Amino acid sequence: MRLTTLEGLPDTVARPGYVPADHGVGIVHLGLGAFHKAHQAAATDTALAASGGDWRICGVSLRSPEPATQLGPQNGLFTLIERSAEGSRARVIGSVAGALCLGPDRAEVLAALTSPHTRIVSMTVTEKGYGIDRTTGGVDPSHPAIAHDLAAPEAPIGVAGLLVWALQARRAAGHPPFTVLCCDNLPENGPLLRGLLVDFARRTAPEVADFIAAEVAFPSTMVDRITPAATPETLADAEAMTGQRDEAAVETEAFTQWVIEDSFPTGRPAWEAAGAMFVADVKPYEEMKLRMLNGAHSMLAYTGFLSGHRHVSDVMQDASLAALVRRHLAAAAATLPELPGVDFAAYAEALCTRFSNPHLRHQTYQIAMDGTEKLPQRILAPAEVAVSKGHSVEPFAFAIAAWMRYAMGKTDAGEAFELRDPREAELRRFANDTDDTATTVSNLMEMPGLFPKSLIANPRLHRSVTAKLDAMRQSGMAGAIRTEAGAQAQ
């Protein structure tokens, strides 16, 4: 039997504390993937049970029809498996009212975006999905979706194009603007998205550019819940736990965190019931998460993948690499301003515990993707601070070297793999056009729009990255890890 109803579920499976059909749709979410289902959809499920309201979600996939084909036949229901050291538990989520794919369901998607009942449009489309020029903060005309939508703004396919089109249509119809809620790992993601939309509007619909800048709310957020991609084992576990086949099941850790700027002019769900923190300034929490959790994640992903560790928990079983993870966390924490009520050392220790969870099959190869989109805020931003404060650059140099070694696209055994990066061809060319390691470092550092000038011009960092990358090439990643950990211990 396919999961289509809440009836007949075992008592061991948690279910919504409300009748889903009694609540209307108030949120459109772009990017209907595993993370949204494990984080925002789960939090909204809890909020509906606590305080009700018409806050169910219309989920939209911008590219793949798979999320819609998974959730559609299940009436939006899916199983969320939460894994901890104590074991796993299943919960069926009822907050998703429907699932659409922009291609075949364009009319329905546009209707949802312009509906007067839609008060929030949220998104998890990954860092590369927006088409932001990191130098200007505006649109990147070379991004495929941006290029398409600049040429055909009346038929948008990307985030910026869809949102500007919808806000323009709502204004013409006399409907208030929705709140735009970015839930991706971007620095100051609210203002960043506002800048993207204003720039896109100035190019395609200048009459609404100032309206978007002044009248549309773009609260910043910090989201945190480690969520690996679903596997056949995920679906098998969901079926064993619920007694029903669930094509949309996802797994995640028990931990969850959401820090949100409290700026919702047209209302919001009671997400605080799910533990969300509403604050005036998200930036300190965002920097903590990006530099510590995400920065360490990226470092261990490149080193772990290339040293034969498939999962993050495997990395933490490697004593040498686990020591380097702890070093990176400490170095990242040292770049942060004090945050009242937060103990960075305790946060780092909690992260190590989360990374060590053997029940969570989070693949290093999954985390390693899209490095050019992730590196600036995760590794390079704290490296800049470390340089300016005169701190050791060794932890960040090691992470940068590991990314460069990964960018070569071959394991130590010579087996080729896909980088899964939007700048893959460019990366491979710069990483492999010379056997001289110092030249490789210079080539990759000088890729347009990636490394800040202060790091490119820093000879201490350049020397350190070159030495570490050379060790990775000469001794293999596993050997370089042991050498680096040994040097740290001395």
- Name the fold adopted by 283-489: N-(1-d-carboxylethyl)-l-norvaline Dehydrogenase; domain 2 (1.10.1040)
Residue 181: Cβ within 10 Å count: 26
Q: Cα separation of 123 and 131, whole Å?
A: 14
Q: Cα separation of 92 and 95, whole Å?
A: 10
| pLDDT tens, per residue, the chain with 490 residues | 999 999 999 999 999 999 999 999 999 999 999 999 999 999 999 999 999 999 999 999 999 999 999 999 999 999 999 999 889 999 999 999 999 999 999 999 999 999 999 999 999 999 999 999 988 999 999 999 999 999 999 999 999 999 999 999 999 999 999 999 999 999 999 999 999 999 999 999 999 999 999 999 999 999 999 999 999 999 999 999 999 999 999 999 999 999 999 999 999 999 999 999 999 999 999 999 999 999 999 999 999 999 999 999 999 999 999 999 999 999 999 999 999 999 999 999 999 999 999 999 999 999 999 999 999 999 999 999 999 999 999 999 999 999 999 999 999 999 999 999 999 999 999 999 899 999 999 999 999 999 999 999 999 999 999 999 999 999 999 999 999 999 887 6
Residue-wise pLDDT tens digits, 198-247: 999 999 999 999 999 999 999 999 999 999 999 999 999 999 999 999 99
Q: Cα separation of 461 and 439, whole Å?
A: 14
Residue 269 contacts residue 95 (beta carbons within 8 Å)? no
Residue 252 contacts residue 80 (beta carbons within 8 Å)? yes
Residue 390 contacts residue 377 (beta carbons within 8 Å)? no
Residue 452 contacts residue 462 (beta carbons within 8 Å)? no
In eight-state DSSP terms, residue 72 is G
Residue-wise pLDDT tens digits, 107-149: 999 999 999 999 999 999 999 999 999 889 999 999 999 999 9
Residue 400 contacts residue 467 (beta carbons within 8 Å)? no
**H helix runs in 174-252, sequence order:** 189-204, 209-215, 232-242
User: Which tokens in the block code for residue 68?
Assistant: 């819609």
User: Which tokens in the block code for residue 340?
Assistant: 């009242």
pTM reported for the whole predicted model: 0.93
pLDDT of residue 143: 96
E strand segments, 36-162: 56-61, 78-84, 87-93, 96-101, 120-123
Q: Identify the CA nearest to 306 among candidates 380, 396, 368, 360.
A: 368
| Strand order from edge to edge, sheet including 78-84 | 87-93, 78-84, 250-253
For domain 20-279, give its CATH number from 3.40.50.720, 3.90.1150.10, 3.60.150.10, 3.40.190.10.
3.40.50.720
Domains of the chain, residue spans? 20-279, 283-489
Q: Cα separation of 389 and 376, whole Å?
A: 18
In eight-state DSSP terms, residue 2 is B
